[in-house]
Amino acid sequence: MAIIKCPQCKKSISDKQKVCPHCELDMTNLTEEKLASMSRISSLKHNQNLQTYQFIAMLIFLAGCFSVYTIEDKESPQYIAAQASVVIGFIWYIVNRFIIIWSKKRS
């Protein structure tokens, strides 16, 4: 018995299993072609998710920047929250950027 990855949900399963216990994919009549198209679809979905996260991170960053410049009371909790969202948005964006570059290099 070997542990393989389900072509649809990418979770670890036994190669003896005929149906994936996580996503209920039927493994009995999978052709090479079907496997290739499934792996292409799942990597496309993965990239789409990463781009969505990157977009959200950028929005948080920009909203934070805007708030930092427009809030006049520099001691207020809103100002601290704005600064935090600049930092969080920036870090999230950079991390996502690295993941996208890394996953492109791998494929």
Q: What distance in Å separates the CA atoms of residue 14 and residue 34, rounded to the nearest whole number? A: 20
| 38 scored as a contact of Zn ion (CB under 5 A) | no
Q: Which is nearer to Zn ion, 31 or 75 (CB)?
A: 31
In the bound complex, what is the minimum distance in angstroms from residue 44's beta carbon to Zn ion? 17
Torsion 69-70-71-77 (CA) sign: negative
| 20 scored as a contact of Zn ion (CB under 5 A) | yes
| 23 scored as a contact of Zn ion (CB under 5 A) | yes
Q: What distance in Å separates the CA atoms of residue 72 and residue 66, rounded to the nearest whole number? A: 12
Query: Among 22-30, 42-50, 65-73, 76-84, which window interacts with Zn ion (CB under 5 A)?
Result: 22-30
Q: At how many degrees (to 10) do helices 77-106 and 32-70 cross? A: 150
Binding residues for Zn ion, per CB under 5 A?
6, 8-9, 20, 22-23, 25
